[in-house]
Amino acid sequence: MAVLRVKFTKTKRDKLAQVLWILNWISVVTGVILFALGLYLKVEINKRVELMAERDIQYVPNMLIAVGLIACAINFLGGKICYDCVDTTKFLRWKLIMLPYIVCTFFFTFCVLVGALMCYSMRGELEESLALGLTQAMRFYKDTDIPGRCFLKRTVDMLQIQFQCCGNSGYKDWFQIQWISNRYLDMSQQHVVDRLRSNVEGKYLMDGVPFSCCNINSPRPCIQQQVTNNSAHYNYEHQTEELNLWMKGCRQALLEYYTDIMQSIGLTVLITWLFELSVLTGVRYLQTSLENVLRQGDPDSESDGWLLENSFMETARINLNIIKSLGKNNHIDTAKNGDPNIDVPSTSKAHYGPDNVPPKTIKEAS
């Protein structure tokens, strides 16, 4: 009771082998595409790694890169095999390798599917990483004289300009941190000292934002200082003013950006997975039909190809037994399924009938 049995004539087998050769080479190209997508994602993450706290998100591009390389190798080998499968004599070279190859490729396609699903599930970890990373970056914005943090001002400014965002969740995040270094605060001025004193931790907080938060779409010159003070600026109401500063938070902006990339990559990987699965099915049919041809002996005759020789349940049971007997390799177990290769001791000898039976006389034909 084979699973999905299909009859193959000789020309059909040849055609299948040729088509599979081409498809395998296309799969090599898709493997290269997977590799390139993984590299691209890695580069994009590394570009802004200073804004991400320590979280394990590098595993997604690394997985894609590894899967891409393995796909190239597997499909390259598959292409060679299918090329030789047109001729039954050349097939004999590959006969022993083909079944392990198919099993390996089957498990490999699982890896591809896992890679695709990982792309979609990375979002939650990324959000957490960005929230923490951005908070840190904004806190160290003013520390342009401390090595290891001196680049953060530039990074945050470029981020806010490029992604058109301000702060972590919004521009008000800047009101809660000191983003002007004490080096540039004139301590001899009374209002500076007052402001420092009025804060519990001695931080210089103000309702002002850096210039990179300014919105280029605003019809008026940018208002960065005293953002919440309506009377400080002519004809200004900060509650209704939406065009003055960027309203979006940078965490949201970056998350959307990376989610877009990963959804596209995930979709591409899913399509690659479906393609690999179809190539694998074709190779399985080719393998079974060629083996059946060899079993029949006549290279030009028809043969059957199938996915599984017996039904799904039976194949599972047989494989389970094989795995079990692999485990019990060195046990002598003649009580149940006696292994014919093990020497049976003489206590249980064969029964040939009773002894001392007189020979029969053969009557002569008259």
**Closest to 159 (Cα-Cα) out of 32, 65, 39, 255:** 255
Query: Is residue 185 a contact residue for another protein (CB under 8 A)?
Result: yes
Comparison of 25 and 236: residue with beta carbon closer to another protein: 236
For residue 213, the one-letter residue type is C
**How is residue 244 written in tokens?**
């003055």
Query: Is residue 302 a contact residue for another protein (CB under 8 A)?
Result: no
Query: Is residue 47 a contact residue for another protein (CB under 8 A)?
Result: no
Q: Read off the DSSP letter of residue 6.
A: E
Comparison of 122 and 245: residue with beta carbon closer to another protein: 245
Comparison of 29 and 158: residue with beta carbon closer to another protein: 158
Residues 6 or more apart in contact with residue 323 via CB below 8 angstroms = none
Query: Is residue 18 a contact residue for another protein (CB under 8 A)?
Result: no
Residue with tokens 């605060």: 185
Query: Is residue 220 a contact residue for another protein (CB under 8 A)?
Result: yes
Instruction: Note the Cα 180 to chain centre separation in Å.
Output: 43
Query: Is residue 136 a contact residue for another protein (CB under 8 A)?
Result: no
Q: Which stretch binds another protein (CB under 8 A): 102-110, 122-130, 214-222, 357-365?
A: 214-222
**How is residue 71 written in tokens?**
């796909």
Comparison of 85 and 214: residue with beta carbon closer to another protein: 214
Kindly report the backbone phi and psi dihedral angles of residue 162, in degrees, each rounded to the nearest multiple of 5, phi listed first.
Answer: -70, -45
Comparison of 150 and 318: residue with beta carbon closer to another protein: 150
The helix (H) or strand (E) run that includes residue 305 is strand 303-305
Other residues' Cβ atoms within 10 Å of the Cβ of residue 297: 7
Other residues' Cβ atoms within 10 Å of the Cβ of residue 54: 8
* Selected binder of another protein within 135, 169, 224, 292 (CB under 8 A): 224
Give the interface size with another protein as a residue count (CB under 8 A): 29
**How is residue 361 written in tokens?**
């006389």
* Selected binder of another protein within 100, 147, 148, 219 (CB under 8 A): 219
Distance from C-alpha of 182 to C-alpha of 99, rounded to nearest angstrom: 71
Exposure of 77 in the CB half-sphere (CA atoms within 13 A): 14
Query: Is residue 232 a contact residue for another protein (CB under 8 A)?
Result: no
Least distance (Å) between residue 201 CB and another protein: 20
Least distance (Å) between residue 157 CB and another protein: 3
For residue 210, what are the β-bridge partners?
none
**Footprint on residues 140-179 left by another protein (CB under 8 A):** 144-145, 150, 153-154, 157-158, 161, 179
Per-position x/- string for 95-134, each x denoting binding to another protein as judged by CB under 8 A, each - no binding: ----------------------------------------
Q: Which stretch binds another protein (CB under 8 A): 102-110, 208-216, 280-288, 356-364?
A: 208-216
Query: Is residue 222 a contact residue for another protein (CB under 8 A)?
Result: yes
**How is residue 346 written in tokens?**
């003489």
Least distance (Å) between residue 208 CB and another protein: 9
Distance from C-alpha of 48 to C-alpha of 56, rounded to nearest angstrom: 15
**Closest to 9 (Cα-Cα) out of 293, 303, 247, 263:** 303
Comparison of 8 and 174: residue with beta carbon closer to another protein: 174
Comparison of 181 and 315: residue with beta carbon closer to another protein: 181
User: How many angstroms separate the Cα of 1 from the Cα of each of 313, 315, 318, 329?
Assistant: 11, 11, 14, 30
Binding site for another protein (CB under 8 A): 144-145, 150, 153-154, 157-158, 161, 179-181, 183-186, 210-212, 214, 216-217, 219-222, 224, 233-235
